[in-house]
């Protein structure tokens, strides 16, 4: 993967994705490795995303590298009307790798075409956020010891959730069965279901969370946002239907784990946090290992 | 009347034949023939053995470049392009929508980088019955209903 930008999860083959997960495992057991001596990584966040940015910066710091960049574009030359192209060309002169988050869709692909150094997409609008997908795959592998033949439930906003779309598509490589739980107006788009059908895998759709609880190995929860509903009453009606609490875990499989891309609002009750089945904080931590793996393999150090 | 519109009437130029009747005005617009000063003849709802009815455009003293031909293929995939010199048919080409399209079509997504910064659009054709173009940048699909040209 040396020198290879990661813009869209499909830029990496299944084998390349598995290789990243393997390297990440090495970082999990030994997170501080001084591999990035004298390397500079630029983190360009044209919109704030503290969680993602800190995870990348933590990864670089634990590797002994230096970080330059900005955490939102309001104080930069971008605000003065500088083009993305000019910003990227300039920063690629100053760094060995660019990590970029930008609300404009396709901006990361464009950046990778004008940059002299590889680019990692840390989110381009509603389009792609491939490092989230890799860390989700890593977390599933970590908890289930396999990615094959699993029953995975996705719960909440399946229509707009970019995280869900990418993970569903990535899991299509692993013979999973999909259990899709959402309000009718937030069902998984057919453009994503096409990928499931292409691989001749099974998916089932539900509106009641309780129906899937006994069936699945992974329960992937997501946030339902008020602004997705044209009718506020409809939001009030559905918002509590997709809340998980501790008592609901009684009817789940022994190996079942709850994941969430975070931040959560109230879709997972805090009483779930103590359960051995809660795995969403570990999931966020895994993001650091996966990003360490990605950065070092793109820079040809692993 | 139909006979008179046939290929032989043109001394030098291009005939675009077998255009779906409803697409003739779109083809005129895409090729920017509205601003062309030489003689142009066009017909709509003409009889066609192949398609029932068809449209035809004849442009005097004009030969089209390949990228202009590509533009036509997007609205009139069934069209035939006939090049005429000295009343003779020099070339007859049937059009095909290319698998890769650069710089002709607009991405329908207003939040796409190609609509925000000066970036040449690129699309890959998605295999389907209908025209579906996947944007190389934002990965959204521009379809028949929101197809617009630069
Ligand atoms: Zn686009």
Residues A17 and A71 in one domain: yes
206-245 in chain A: CB under 8 A from chain B:
none
Residues A121 and A203 in one domain: no
Contact flag B139-A105 (C-beta cutoff 8 Å): yes
- Per-residue pLDDT, B1: 45
C-alpha–C-alpha distance, residues A254 and A275, integer Å:
12
CA A271, A273, A274, A277 torsion: positive or negative? Answer: positive
For residue B128, the tally of other CB atoms under 10 A from its CB is 10
Q: Which is more confident, A191 or B89? A: B89
Residues A268 and A166 in one domain: yes
Task: Tell me whether residue A215 is in a domain.
Answer: yes
Which one from A51, A79, A226, A237 is the annotated catalytic residue?
Answer: A51
Residues A120 and A256 in one domain: no
Query: Across A128-259, where does the E strand assignment appear?
Result: 151-155, 177-181, 203-206, 218-221, 257-259
**Average confidence (pLDDT) over A290-295:** 98
**Is residue A51 annotated as part of the catalytic site, yes or no?**
yes
**Average confidence (pLDDT) over A125-143:** 96
Nearest residue to A114 via CA among A137, A145, A90, A130: A90
Nearest residue to A59 via CA among A279, A295, A263, A262: A295
**Is residue A101 annotated as part of the catalytic site, yes or no?**
yes
Burial A164-181 (b: 16+ CB within 10 A, else e): bbbbbbbbbbbebbbbbb
Task: Tell me whether residue A124 is in a domain.
Answer: yes
* Mean pLDDT, chain B, integer: 87
The answer to whether A111 and A88 have CB atoms below 8 angstroms apart is: yes
Tell me, rounded to whole angstroms, the distance of Cα A170 from its chain centroid: 11
Nearest residue to A88 via CA among A73, A98, A75: A98
User: Closest Cα of chain A to B99: distance in Å?
Assistant: 19
Strand order in the sheet with A203-206: A203-206, A177-181, A151-155, A218-221, A257-259
**Average confidence (pLDDT) over B85-114:** 90
Residues A277 and A293 in one domain: no
Share of chain B above pLDDT 70, in %: 95
Which helix (H) or strand (E) covers residue A14, if one does?
helix A14-29
Contact flag A105-B119 (C-beta cutoff 8 Å): no
Per-residue pLDDT for A1 more than 90?
no
Contact flag B136-A109 (C-beta cutoff 8 Å): yes
A39 Cβ neighbours under 8 A, 6+ residues apart: A63, A65, A66, A96, A97, A299
Per-residue pLDDT for A111 more than 60?
yes
Number of domains observed in the structure of chain A: 2
Q: Which residues of A are less than 8 Å from B137 in CB distance?
A: 105-107, 109-110
Per-residue pLDDT for B2 more than 70?
no
Per-residue pLDDT for A208 more than 90?
yes
Angle at A49 between CA A45 and CA A54, to 5 degrees: 90
C-alpha–C-alpha distance, residues A71 and A47, integer Å:
7
Q: How far is the CA of B142 from the centre of ligand 1 (A)?
A: 8
Residue labelled with tokens 């490795």: A33
Most confident of A214-218, B4-8, B143-147: A214-218
Q: Which two tokens stand for residue A269?
A: 């009750």
Residues A90 and A23 in one domain: yes
Residue labelled with tokens 């083809």: B27
For residue A193, the tally of other CB atoms under 10 A from its CB is 16
Q: B116 at the A interface (CB within 8 A)?
A: yes
Q: Which domain holds residue A206?
A: 130-284
- Per-residue pLDDT, B45: 92
CATH of the domain at A204: 3.40.50.1370
Residues A53 and A136 in one domain: no
Per-residue pLDDT for A117 more than 60?
yes
Task: Tell me whether residue A4 is in a domain.
Answer: no
Going by the DSSP 8-state scheme, the letter that residue B149 receives in this structure is E
Q: Which residues of B are less than 8 Å from A127 in CB distance?
A: 138-140
User: What residue in A sits closest to B116 (Cα-Cα)?
Assistant: A104
- Render pLDDT for A212-249 as a digit per residue (tens, 0 to 9): 999 999 999 999 888 778 888 888 888 888 999 999 99
**Average confidence (pLDDT) over A55-72:** 96
A113 Cβ neighbours under 8 A, 6+ residues apart: none
- Render pLDDT for B41-77 as a digit per residue (tens, 0 to 9): 999 999 888 778 999 999 999 998 877 777 788 888 8
Nearest residue to B19 via CA among B1, B39, B49, B45: B45
Residues A136 and A109 in one domain: no
Task: Tell me whether residue A2 is in a domain.
Answer: no
Q: How far is the CA of A106 from the centre of ligand 1 (A)?
A: 6
Per-residue pLDDT for A275 more than 90?
yes
Q: How far is the CA of B111 from the centre of ligand 1 (A)?
A: 8
Q: A103 at the B interface (CB within 8 A)?
A: yes
**Average confidence (pLDDT) over B118-143:** 92
Model confidence band, residue A32 (pLDDT cutoffs 50, 70, 90): very high
Task: Quickly list DSSP for A90-116.
Answer: HHHHH-SEEEEEESSBTHHHHHHHH-S
User: Closest Cα of chain B to A109: distance in Å?
Assistant: 6
**Average confidence (pLDDT) over B25-53:** 88
User: Closest Cα of chain B to A163: distance in Å?
Assistant: 15
* Mean pLDDT, chain A, integer: 94
Contact flag B137-A110 (C-beta cutoff 8 Å): yes
Q: Which residues lie across from A105 on neighbouring strands? A: B112
Task: Tell me whether residue A75 is in a domain.
Answer: yes
Which one from A39, A53, A62, A101 is the annotated catalytic residue?
Answer: A101
Residues A123 and A138 in one domain: no
Task: Tell me whether residue A3 is in a domain.
Answer: no
User: What residue in A sits closest to B137 (Cα-Cα)?
Assistant: A106
Residue labelled with tokens 């969430």: A260
- Per-residue pLDDT, A77: 67
Residues A140 and A264 in one domain: yes
Contact flag A106-B118 (C-beta cutoff 8 Å): no
Per-residue pLDDT for A35 more than 70?
yes
- Per-residue pLDDT, A75: 67
Task: Tell me whether residue A1 is in a domain.
Answer: no
- Per-residue pLDDT, B96: 76
Q: Which is more confident, B106 or B128? A: B106
- Per-residue pLDDT, A120: 98
- Per-residue pLDDT, A53: 97
C-alpha–C-alpha distance, residues A106 and B50, integer Å:
42
**Is residue A52 annotated as part of the catalytic site, yes or no?**
yes
**Average confidence (pLDDT) over B90-112:** 89
Angle at A196 between CA A190 and CA A197, to 5 degrees: 80
Q: How far is the CA of A110 from the centre of ligand 1 (A)?
A: 11
User: What residue in A sits closest to B114 (Cα-Cα)?
Assistant: A106
Q: A114 at the B interface (CB within 8 A)?
A: no
**Average confidence (pLDDT) over A191-206:** 94
Share of chain B above pLDDT 90, in %: 48
Per-residue pLDDT for B149 more than 90?
no
Q: How far is the CA of A181 from the centre of ligand 1 (A)?
A: 30
**Is residue A80 annotated as part of the catalytic site, yes or no?**
yes
Q: Which is more confident, A106 or B22? A: A106
- Per-residue pLDDT, A52: 95
Contact flag A105-B140 (C-beta cutoff 8 Å): yes
Q: How far is the CA of B73 from the centre of ligand 1 (A)?
A: 21
C-alpha–C-alpha distance, residues A72 and A113, integer Å:
22
How far CA A204 is from CA of A183, B31, B80, B126, in Å, comes to: 14, 48, 47, 26
C-alpha–C-alpha distance, residues A7 and B64, integer Å:
37
Q: For residue B109, give the nearest of A8, A105, A191 by CB distance.
A: A105
Q: How far is the CA of B139 from the centre of ligand 1 (A)?
A: 6
Residues A122 and A137 in one domain: no
Model confidence band, residue B94 (pLDDT cutoffs 50, 70, 90): confident
- Render pLDDT for A137-179 as a digit per residue (tens, 0 to 9): 999 999 999 999 999 999 999 998 889 999 999 999 999 999 9
Contact flag A85-B117 (C-beta cutoff 8 Å): yes
Task: Tell me whether residue A145 is in a domain.
Answer: yes
Residues A124 and A147 in one domain: no
């Amino acid at each position: 993967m040396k020198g290879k930008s990661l813009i869209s999860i499909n830029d990496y083959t299944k084998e390349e994705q598995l290789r990243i997960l393997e390297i990440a495992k090495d970082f999990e057991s030994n997170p501080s490795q001084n591999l990035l001596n004298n390397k500079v990584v630029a983190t360009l966040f044209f919109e704030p995303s503290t969680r993602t940015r800190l995870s990348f910066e933590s990864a670089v710091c634990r590797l002994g590298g230096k970080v330059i960049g900005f955490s939102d574009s309001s104080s930069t030359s971008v605000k003065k009307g500088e083009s993305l192209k000019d910003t990227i060309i300039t920063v690629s002169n100053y760094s060995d790798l660019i990590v970029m988050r930008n609300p404009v869709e396709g901006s990361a692909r464009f950046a990778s075409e004008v940059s002299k150094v590889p680019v990692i997409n840390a989110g381009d609008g509603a389009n792609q956020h491939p490092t989230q997908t890799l860390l989700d795959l890593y977390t599933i592998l970590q908890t289930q010891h396999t990615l094959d033949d699993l029953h995975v439930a996705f719960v909440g906003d399946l229509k707009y959730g970019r995280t869900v779309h990418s993970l569903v598509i990535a899991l299509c490589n692993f013979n999973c069965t999909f259990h899709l739980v959402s309000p009718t107006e937030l069902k998984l788009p057919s453009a994503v279901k096409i990928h499931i059908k292409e691989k001749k895998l099974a998916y089932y759709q539900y509106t009641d969370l309780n129906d899937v609880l006994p069936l699945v190995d992974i329960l992937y929860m997501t946030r339902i946002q008020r602004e997705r509903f044209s009718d506020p009453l409809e939001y009030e009606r559905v918002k509590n239907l997709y809340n998980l609490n501790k008592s609901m875990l009684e009817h789940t499989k022994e190996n079942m784990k709850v994941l969430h891309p975070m931040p959560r609002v109230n879709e997972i009750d805090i009483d779930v946090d103590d359960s051995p089945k809660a795995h969403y904080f570990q999931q966020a931590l895994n993001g650091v290992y996966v990003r360490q793996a990605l950065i070092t393999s793109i820079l040809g150090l692993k | 009347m139909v006979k008179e519109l046939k290929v032989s009437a043109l001394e030098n130029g291009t005939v675009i034949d077998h255009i779906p009747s409803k697409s003739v005005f779109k083809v005129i617009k895409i090729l920017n023939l509205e601003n062309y000063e030489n003689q142009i003849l066009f017909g709509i709802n003409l009889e066609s053995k192949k398609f029932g009815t068809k449209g035809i455009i004849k442009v005097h003293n004009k030969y089209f470049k390949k990228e202009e031909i590509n533009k036509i293929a997007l609205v009139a995939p069934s069209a035939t392009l006939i090049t005429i010199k000295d009343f003779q048919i020099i070339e007859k080409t049937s059009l095909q929508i290319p698998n890769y399209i650069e710089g002709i079509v607009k991405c329908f997504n207003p939040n796409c980088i190609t609509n925000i910064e000066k970036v040449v659009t690129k699309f890959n054709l998605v295999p389907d019955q209908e025209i579906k173009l996947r944007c190389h940048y934002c990965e959204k699909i521009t379809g028949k209903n929101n197809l617009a040209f630069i």
